[in-house]
């Protein structure tokens, strides 16, 4: 028979905690529960037992772990950002500290952590990416645990699975950068915030502060989770002690972040390459916002947790909106900077799926439920089939902006000992740093001081006049550059490289590899033979 929807009841608050109760339905009360048992705090349909919480954490975490370990080496390749992590992590701690005074201060803590990990176990690409795999697994488990606390075991399992299967999450689970670790810490902070809203304690608030501070030290933009959480606290109509405790924690995070902000403020030129979202990215952003808004309003009587939209919707939308608005001053939006917004999105979609399944299961006798059940199963199958090509592509070298390994192999194929090599622009020297053996015997014509000695990422180049002289002393030059269509740097060193090649050399071969091109130039009329691949 149909079960009447519960009636929301707002109970008096104790100790600043929010107590949003619902009158229990027959389905809400566990088998064998005492008569008169009511629904718990936070609008949950039923208190999840320990087994339910454990399953809600472990199942999504296991799914994310399997997906992360699958193809973790990506056919033995890395892209340029990972290459930077790899070579900086292999510097000494004094060298890393000297680098942070000039560049990449925002990633300083991550580099130190990776330095320590490589010191314990130098497992190459597996060591480089394993922290991200484990971090996403923990994040998926925490999303599941949060969903379970909000809406029961099924919602927790659904939310955790949605998070683990999200293509963007899968991508950064296999990336040797800090974004997955940031996501895990924000997921922990979000779970702790939920705990603080329903059963606040000083210990939980301290843990909340530490998790958000650590996330922000791993990447400054993690601080954007704070205003999203602030909206949650206000929208939840929390009592003054809770609001005050959150404000103190937020202020402590902001104060703890000040040293990093001051250190990185002079390095803003490193993000000058950001140009804002492309049309495809705008479509993705709009689609995510629309789906999130629809899920936040999905009406399923008696099964829609009160706190889900208040917790998840701000986290899904606000950080992205802030970075998009920053374009009025300077473009700063890059999807990986706000990877943690997928936490809120997964909670919204996962709890909506759970509510939909519950609605179907309560829809009369089995015969009446079959069409809806079949439709749900067909939809789930279609989603899995649609995600399969994306999931496979994420484990392919072509899934990243460039392929440092392929660039090194092509340089080895076209070059000969004694040839010159030029990086145009100079920041593409990072392609060389993780594969120095492939460049043995080549003369870097523009490099005056090596990266480690100059406490920089790509080293310091000679003045333009010296670069011209050194290039004109060579008969063959291998040039590594961006693909056609990229803007050309206008600094004198880059301009002179182009001028000398155009005026005194001719092109022998040009090979396009993922995100780069390798061109062999020679003086004289005949081109030298190139080794077969």
Q: 401, 429, 433, 416: which is closest to 478 by C-alpha? A: 416
Q: Give the list of residues 6+ apart from residue 94 with CB closer than 8 angstroms, or none.
A: none
- What token pair was written down for 357? 């399944």
What pLDDT sits at residue 495? 94
21 DSSP assignment? E
- Residue-wise pLDDT tens for the chain (533 aa)? 444 444 343 343 444 454 444 333 333 333 333 333 233 333 334 445 777 889 999 999 999 999 999 999 998 899 999 999 999 999 999 999 999 999 899 999 999 999 999 999 999 999 999 999 999 999 999 999 999 988 888 889 999 999 999 999 999 999 999 999 999 999 999 999 999 998 889 999 999 999 999 999 999 999 999 999 999 999 988 889 999 999 999 999 999 999 999 888 877 677 767 777 888 888 989 999 999 999 888 754 344 457 888 999 999 999 999 999 987 788 788 889 999 999 999 999 998 888 887 776 666 555 555 666 676 677 667 777 777 888 888 888 888 888 999 999 999 999 999 999 999 999 899 899 888 888 989 999 999 999 999 999 989 999 999 999 999 999 999 999 998 888 788 899 999 999 999 999 999 999 999 889 999 999 876 677 766 55
Residue 408 burial class via C-beta count within 10 angstroms: exposed 0-12, middle 13-18, buried 19 and up: buried
- CA 400 to each of CA 177, 347, 386, 436: distance values in angstroms, whole numbers, following the listed order: 13, 28, 20, 21
Q: Give the strand pairing for 476-481 and 516-522.
A: antiparallel
Side-chain half-sphere CA neighbours of 216 within 13 A: 23
CA distance 387 to 149: 28
What pLDDT sits at residue 3? 41
With helix as H, strand as E and coil as C, how does 286-338 read? HHHHHHHHHHHCCCCCCCCCCHHHHHHHHHHHHHHHHHHHHHHCCCCCCHHHH
Helix or strand (DSSP H, E) at 520: strand 516-522
In contact, 179 and 195? CB cutoff 8 Å = no
At 200, is the secondary structure helix, strand, or coil? coil
CA distance 391 to 170: 8
Q: 331, 312, 138, 323: which is closest to 220 by C-alpha? A: 323
How many beta carbons lie within 10 A of that of residue 473, not counting itself?
A: 10
What pLDDT sits at residue 192? 96
Cα-Cα-Cα-Cα dihedral sign, residues 218, 223, 224, 228: positive
Domain residues of the chain, as ranges? Answer: 42-399, 404-522
CA distance 205 to 532: 63
Helices (H), 397-486: 404-414, 430-433, 451-454, 464-472
- What token pair was written down for 494? 């880059």
What pLDDT sits at residue 422? 96
CA distance 426 to 444: 11
What pLDDT sits at residue 266? 78
In contact, 347 and 312? CB cutoff 8 Å = yes
At 509, is the secondary structure helix, strand, or coil? strand
pTM of the model: 0.85
Q: What is the CA radius of gyration of the chain?
A: 27
In contact, 458 and 526? CB cutoff 8 Å = no
Residue 219: phi, psi to the nearest 5? -160, 125
CA distance 253 to 229: 13
Q: 406, 456, 448: which is closest to 431 by C-alpha? A: 406
- Taking all residues of the chain, what is their mean pLDDT, rounded to a whole number? 84
What pLDDT sits at residue 299? 57
* 476-481: strand order across its sheet: 443-444, 420-424, 476-481, 516-522, 506-513
In contact, 98 and 457? CB cutoff 8 Å = no
Helix or strand (DSSP H, E) at 445: none
In contact, 479 and 428? CB cutoff 8 Å = no
Identify any residues that bridge with 476 across adjacent strands, giving them in sequence order: 522
In contact, 273 and 331? CB cutoff 8 Å = no
């Amino acid at each position: 028979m149909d079960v009447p929807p519960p009636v929301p009841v707002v109970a008096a608050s104790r100790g600043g905690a929010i107590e949003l109760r619902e009158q229990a339905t027959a389905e809400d009360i566990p088998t064998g529960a005492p008569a008169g048992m009511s629904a718990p705090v936070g609008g949950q349909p039923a208190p999840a037992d320990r087994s339910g919480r454990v399953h809600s954490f472990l199942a999504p975490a296991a799914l994310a772990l399997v997906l992360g370990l699958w193809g973790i080496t990506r056919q033995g390749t890395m892209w340029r950002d990972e290459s930077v992590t790899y070579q900086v992590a292999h510097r000494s701690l004094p060298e890393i500290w000297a680098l942070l005074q000039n560049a990449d201060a925002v990633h300083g803590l991550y580099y130190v952590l990776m330095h320590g990990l490589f010191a314990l176990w130098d497992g190459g690409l597996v060591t480089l990416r394993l922290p991200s795999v484990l971090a996403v697994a923990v994040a998926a488990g925490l999303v599941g645990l949060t969903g379970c606390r909000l809406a029961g075991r099924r919602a927790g399992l659904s939310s955790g699975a949605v998070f683990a299967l999200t293509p963007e999450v899968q991508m950064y689970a296999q990336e040797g950068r800090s974004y997955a670790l940031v996501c895990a810490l924000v997921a922990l902070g979000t779970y702790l915030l939920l705990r603080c809203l329903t059963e606040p304690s000083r210990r939980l608030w301290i843990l909340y502060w530490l998790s958000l501070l650590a996330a922000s030290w791993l990447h400054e933009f993690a601080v954007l989770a704070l205003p999203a959480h602030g909206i949650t606290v206000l929208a939840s109509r929390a009592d003054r002690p809770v609001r005050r405790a959150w404000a103190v924690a937020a202020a402590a995070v902001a104060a703890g972040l000040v040293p990093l902000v001051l250190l990185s403020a002079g390095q803003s030129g490193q993000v000058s390459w950001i140009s804002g979202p492309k049309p495809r990215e705008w479509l993705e952003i709009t689609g995510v916002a629309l789906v999130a808004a629809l899920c936040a309003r999905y009406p399923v009587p008696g099964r829609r947790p009160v706190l889900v939209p208040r917790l998840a919707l701000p986290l899904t939308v606000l950080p992205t909106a802030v970075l998009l608005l920053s374009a009025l001053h300077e473009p700063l939006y890059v999807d990986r900077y706000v990877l943690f917004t997928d936490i809120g999105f997964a909670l919204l979609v996962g709890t909506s799926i759970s509510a939909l399944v519950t609605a179907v299961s309560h829809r009369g006798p089995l015969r009446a439920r079959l069409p809806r059940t079949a439709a749900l199963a067909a939809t789930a199958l279609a989603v899995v089939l649609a995600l399969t090509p994306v999931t496979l592509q994420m484990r392919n070298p072509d899934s990243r902006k460039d392929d440092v390994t392929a660039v090194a192999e092509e340089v080895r194929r076209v070059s000969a000992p004694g040839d010159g090599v030029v990086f145009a622009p100079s920041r593409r020297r990072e392609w060389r740093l993780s594969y120095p053996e492939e460049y043995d015997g080549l003369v870097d014509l523009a490099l005056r001081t090596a990266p480690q000695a100059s406490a920089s990422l790509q080293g310091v180049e000679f003045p333009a006049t010296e670069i011209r002289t050194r290039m004109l002393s060579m008969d063959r030059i291998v040039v590594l550059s961006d693909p056609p269509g990229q803007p050309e740097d206008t600094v004198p060193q880059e301009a002179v490289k182009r001028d000398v090649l155009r005026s005194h050399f001719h092109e022998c071969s040009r090979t396009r590899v993922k995100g780069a091109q390798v061109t062999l130039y020679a003086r004289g009329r005949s081109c030298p033979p190139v080794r077969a691949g």
